Chains A and B, each alone.
Chain A
């Protein structure tokens, strides 16, 4: 889970190679795409007020998604631990 957390938050590595495609969502893994931290990193430098607020809202969304993923993972771990302990 620590690894997943770090991967979801990876900023600069993604920003350099992900291709920063805006506006077209695609599921093709080989097409240029984007990731939330990469967008924040790339567009922060030139963002004006409204744009910055949008980027911060994106950061909050990422935060919420991270919490949800962690909740689910913790639930799975606890359930499997209960089963292993046979309580």
Chain B
């Protein structure tokens, strides 16, 4: 009897829920992937939905690798990814050719928690030595040499890094690979074998939390999360020899003068230019060139156009840098390559 009652109750709940089906009728677009671009996707989705009522847009995050996998399996309509498909994975993409649309430039800060030190200057070599635990104390000679006049305490450095696989880790370690050649021994990748006396956090938020709550901590956090947690961040020496603060302007400066390949792939790390912030990374939205559904195809095209053009002005509010104008134009032009099938005759 009671099982029947429980059954009845469950069915009643499901039945009551059905009238709510009036919400969200119409096309639904699903995306997943990079968590670096998640704040931008969220803001853009909100604005875009105001202009297109009746459209449902979901962006699930989950990591660039998951996004690329989901798109290859055609489970989502667009993927956010901090890096392109590897050669070996290209064969597994079910839907044919893919197009890369860059959407933003994001500075990765080196955030720290040291009382009394408000401005910290670091070069790539010093950062590499700190993160691989060659330098263990804040008042080490190398740090003091780059910061004359700063009162560095005789305290241990606590290194914080990502516990989960991450495009941010990949970009940060690629930067160190390139800028601190010879010093950086841990190579690059979405996961890295950090030394054992370091701490790990989940997501940018997790690392930010460790830095915020541990005295003497240092970690790599993207600008958006660092600002949200109220962290102090270091000025990093760029290729031109200047120490630059991680701001959206400096990230945009890194964007000018990058080499962009015809398929819109590029790297903004370690950019040339006096005002460039050297640890600037980039992220793309990947879609299929050949769309299979008329409604979804149109929606994808419209959303991408919003992301690379009208939505760019939303970026500085959330502490990311817009693409340089030339790149925006190239991206808009690449939209023409998306083929949408004709809608079925009514």
Contact = CB atoms under 8 A, between A and B. Distances in A.
Direct contact of A and B (CB under 8 A): yes
A24 interface: yes
B196 A32 contact: yes
Best-surrounded residue of A20, A45, A47, A48 (most CB of chain B within 10 A)? A45
Contact of A42 (B66, B165, B170): B165
A16 B166 CA distance: 15
A42 B66 CA distance: 12
Contacts of A42: 163-165, 191, 202
A45 B196 contact: no
Contact of B165 (A23, A26, A31, A46): A46
Task: For chain B, give the interface size range.
Answer: 20 to 34
A47 B193 CA distance: 15
B200 to A, nearest CB: 4
B86 interface: yes
B86 A46 contact: no
B37 to A, nearest CB: 14
Interface in A13-32: 15-16, 19-24, 26, 31-32
A19 B200 CA distance: 5
Nearest to A47: B65
B196 to A, nearest CB: 4
Contacts of A19: 163, 199-200
Contacts of A41: 164
Best-surrounded residue of A20, A31, A44, A46 (most CB of chain B within 10 A)? A46
B65 A44 contact: yes
A48 B89 contact: yes
A43 interface: yes
A64 B266 CA distance: 44
Interface residues of A, number: 20
**Secondary structure call for the B interface:** loop
B89 A49 contact: yes
Given A48-B86, A49-B88, A43 B196 contact: no
Interface in B184-239: 190-196, 198-200, 202
Contacts of A21: 194, 196, 200
Contact of B62 (A15, A22, A26, A45): A45
A69 to B, nearest CB: 26
A44 B195 CA distance: 21
A31 B92 CA distance: 40
Best-surrounded residue of B62, B92, B196 (most CB of chain A within 10 A)? B196
Interface string B49-65: 00000000000001111
Interface of B: 62-66, 86, 88-89, 92, 163-167, 170, 190-196, 198-200, 202
Closest A-B pairs by Cβ, 7 of them: A45-B63, A46-B165, A46-B190, A24-B196, A20-B163, A23-B193, A46-B65
